[in-house]
Structure 1
Amino acid sequence: MARTRLADAASSLTLRGRCLVAAGLTLGLLGAVLGERALVQLALFVLALPLVSAVGVARQRFRVATRRTVTPARLPRGETAEVLVEVANTDRRAGGLWLLTEQLPAELGRRPQFVVERLSPGATAPLRYRLHGTRRGRFTLGPLRLRLVDPFGLVLRTAAGSDTASLLVVPRVRPLQGTGGLSGAGGNGGEGGRRSIAVHGEDDVSTREYRYGDDLRLVHWRATARTGELMVRLEERPWRAAATLFLDTRLSAHLTGGRGSAQAPDTLEWAVEAAASIGVHLLQRGAALRVVTDAGELTAPLGRGTLGPDELLDRFAELEASRYPGLQVGVETLRRAAVDGPAICLLGLVGPEDVTALARARSGPGSDVAVVVDAVAWLDAGATRSRRPLSPSARAELVGRQEQAVALLRSAGWQVLAVRPEQTVDQVWGRLGAATSAAGPVTPPPPLPTGAQA
């Protein structure tokens, strides 16, 4: 064991140690060729120094325990978290010269380094550093890598621990006011008029298709047997505001300024931040919200109930750009959701074929809204699809396709807003309310027949 430890230490020579060994070998060779005994003696001394250092490092034993505390553990994008790493010497002897390096993902910046010298037995050294959440995601902090060095800096021995901690960087949530002028999305916690379905007999029960998350106790077995599809009955329930949030996450539909700068224009990050802000705002107002992306619907972890504000932010934190070429999967999910209320669609660079299917999927009450990327403004701000800027012909084609898509949505009765890179989510939300007010009130859905009232 000691021989193995010595071999490991000898193989961990630093650049200074390797240079010293090379110099010793050179002096020994010259002394032997020239017959100079003094040079041979000097060579032996030079070669012995790294060997003695390796023995000293190999004999160092250490037992270290670490513990991390991340404050806060859920960090809004752009904010700073403080990390406390407590390093305890659990050995019976004092530690030597320890160089400690915290292992971090490249997205969180440079790895912090610390120096701890002669830590007493049972003592704890608190090490602190800060992290700036420049990118969304779930990141692992640690483990701590310990390096033992001799006083001359000739031999380096490394060891890594196993203790880690998690940091979740969620999207920023901008404070919003009002409903943005969206009919049916405001909500007042479910308070208001009551909507009921008449139940005069078993055959008169109103039913609909089973949706994910429905209570199985509401399954209507006669209707299920008759239709061949799982059906649930509609019972008297309070009217509750509802909305659907649709987020386009396709990599091909967004412009980015690159991963090198956190301040670079990025349409996907803007859209995710807008979806998080609008979603949390509507949920806090009591609206029933369903969130759909081009890859499908976002649900609570393990299918437990509906998404709340915290669960929504957690899902958005780990949401990455998708490789889907079109919006077919998301549009089909949006059609099956059939939520009574407006659809709020946050779109990237869309074409006529994308919005045609999107407009056909919506037929419910409420004013549907599409917030699209202003391609000209984002391109002028430096955003691009790749490292190279777009050619004039590609830029013209991109802008032309988007103008056609916007015209199709408006002709279908949608409210369409083009967002520029300097605009914030709260400004766009205010524009939605102003545009709806200028267009006049939205006609509410007709009342139910008299026999269907509670």
Structure 2
Amino acid sequence: MGITARGVGLLVAAVVLLAVGFRFAYPELALLGAAAATAVGYALVTAAWRPRLEVTRHADPDRVARGEPAAMTLTVRNTGRLRAASLVAEDRCGGASVPVPLLRLRPGRDTTVRYDVPTARRGVVPVGPLRVTRRDPLGLVALSRPYGGTVPVWVHPRIHPLTAVPTGAGRSLDGRVDAVPHGSITFDSLREYVVGDELRRVHWRTSARVGELMVRENVDTSLPRLVVLLDNRATAHPDRVDGVAESFESACEAAASVVTAAVRADLPVVLLLVAPEAAGTAGAGVAGPGAAPLDRLAAAQLGKEDTLDATLTRLRRDRPGDTLVVLTGPGGRGSLGRIGALRGAYPSVVVGVFGAAQPAQATELVVIDAVDGAAFAAEWDRVRRW
């Protein structure tokens, strides 16, 4: 609850008038002071009334590519039974405020407001909560309360179509990529039986132990596995304009393009970030390592911690794929030698460098120098040696 400047002035005047009136026996001044104090008390009681509002919101859509339109539909319903609500309200949309008219909202009625969500920049735009400000008729007290929750709108990086996908060492014998998802006999895991599974894949010993049918899950080792490593170190993207590193935005677009191309080709793909990601949930507008790749790219931020050596060591040890795609900025050109040391663990290593003033020099790596995501996609499709 906040008292306005007018309310503070009237409250001070009430104290002074009451003190002077009683001290020097002036009943008129005491009466004026009592009237002023009564007005402030009335304002407090009036502003303290809490309207019963039900707020629902719907994003259409809640996930868009950068620059595509997105809208938020906000519905406010007066669930009270006696009084109509005439309030001043505003909805938070990112860093901006959107006015929401709530004039003479009768009990049981609702009002709907629809407005555009800014998608000019990649990121997670938090929308909400609705803040309702209650004022008294004299403007002495203003009380602001939040209503409803926060709904994130995920602004994904732009996706540029890629016609080629590196196949690394995972090729079938006839020279093409084998897209059969369960064609090999390589054991991967056990799962519960579902209708339609072949009985020859049932693992009877485990089924007898757990008391329900368990099926062997095999993987096709002929499929190439892609690993996309996004360098989100602040030192790798030193050039910023208004706090935004365009080289990092371009790297995010390239990562989204490679991941999308791999998914469309039914190829396993893993997205990794050099700097640690913020842990959280999609409902809170934070995407952790277990979230969808495009959501993680939307929430990706530059990190100050330099963990490149630890990340490269983990890649060399775990080997989550056979084709490594590294995307970095002008500050990452000095790390190409350390990245090239992974050639023994990964048959194919592709490096994309964005925003560099001079082309990178690396003989054992496939290096793509690009100014933005569109240029990267064009150069990517020209590569003939993976």
When the two structures are superposed, what TM-score results if normalisation uses the length of structure 1?
Answer: 0.62
* Percent of pairs with identical residues: 24
- Asked if 2 retains the 8 angstrom alpha-carbon contact of 1:195 and 1:236, the reply is no
- Cα distance in structure 2, aligned partners of 1:206 and 1:54: 75
The change in CA–CA distance for 1:359 and 1:206 in structure 2 (over 3 A counts) is farther
Q: Secondary structure at the match of 1:361?
A: helix
In the alignment, what sits opposite 2:370? Answer: 419
Deviates most, 25-34 or 280-289: 25-34
- For these two proteins, the number of residue pairs brought into alignment is 343
> Residue 249 of structure 1 aligns to which amino acid in structure 2?
N
SS at the partner of 2:97? coil
CA distance in 1, matches of 2:116, 2:257: 26
Distance 1:120 1:195 in 2: 61
1:350 aligned to which of 314, 328, 332: 332
1:13 paired residue number: 3
What aligned pairs does 1:69-80 form with structure 2 within 5 A after superposition?
69-80=58-69
Q: 1:62 to 1:429 in 2, by over 3 A?
A: closer
Task: From the superposition, tell whether residues 374 and 150 of structure 1 become closer, same or farther in structure 2 (CA, over 3 Å).
Answer: closer
One-letter amino acid of the structure 2 residue matched with residue 75 of structure 1: V
- Give the stretch that moved more between structures: 135-144 or 89-98: 135-144
Q: Relative to structure 1, is the Cα distance of residues 345 and 157 closer, same or farther in structure 2, using a 3 angstrom cutoff?
A: closer
Change in 2 beyond 3 A, CA 1:237/1:101? closer
Distance 1:89 1:194 in 2: 59
Distance change in 2, residues 1:62/1:171 (3 Å): closer
**Unaligned segments of structure 1, at least 5 residues:** 1-10, 197-204, 219-234, 302-309, 378-402, 444-454
CA positional deviation for 1:30: 7.1
2:232 aligned partner: 249
Q: 1 or 2, which has the higher helix percentage?
A: 1
1:339 alignment partner in structure 2:
321
- Quote how far apart the aligned CAs of 1:102 are: 2.9
- Among residues 252, 264, 270, which one is paired with 1:272 in the alignment? 252
**What does residue 153 of structure 1 align with?**
139
Displacement of 1:284: 0.9
- Aligned twin of 2:303: 322
Q: CA 1:92 to 1:374, structure 2 compared with 1: closer, same or farther past 3 Å?
A: closer
- For residues 104-119 of structure 1, what are the structure 2 equivalents within 5 Å? 108-119=94-105
The farther-off stretch of 36-45 and 141-150 is 36-45
Greater C-alpha Rg: 1
Inter-partner Cα distance in structure 2 for 1:293 and 1:419: 20
Aligned to 1:433: 381
Distance 2:179 2:266 in 1: 17
**Could you give the per-residue CA deviations for residues 97-127 of structure 1, whole angstroms, max 9, x where no partner exists?**
32223355xxx12232334233211111223
1:145/1:159 contact within 8 Å kept: yes
1:86 and 1:126 in contact (8 A); partners too = yes
Q: Which amino acid letter does the alignment assign opposite residue 166 of structure 1?
A: V
SS of the counterpart of 2:112? strand
Q: Deviations over 1:289-316 (max 9, x none)?
A: 233332599xxx9xxxxxxxx9221222
Query: SS of the residue aligned with 1:142?
Result: strand
RMSD: 4.2
The one-letter amino acid paired with 1:251 is A
TM superposition shift of 1:54: 3.2
* Greater strand proportion: 2
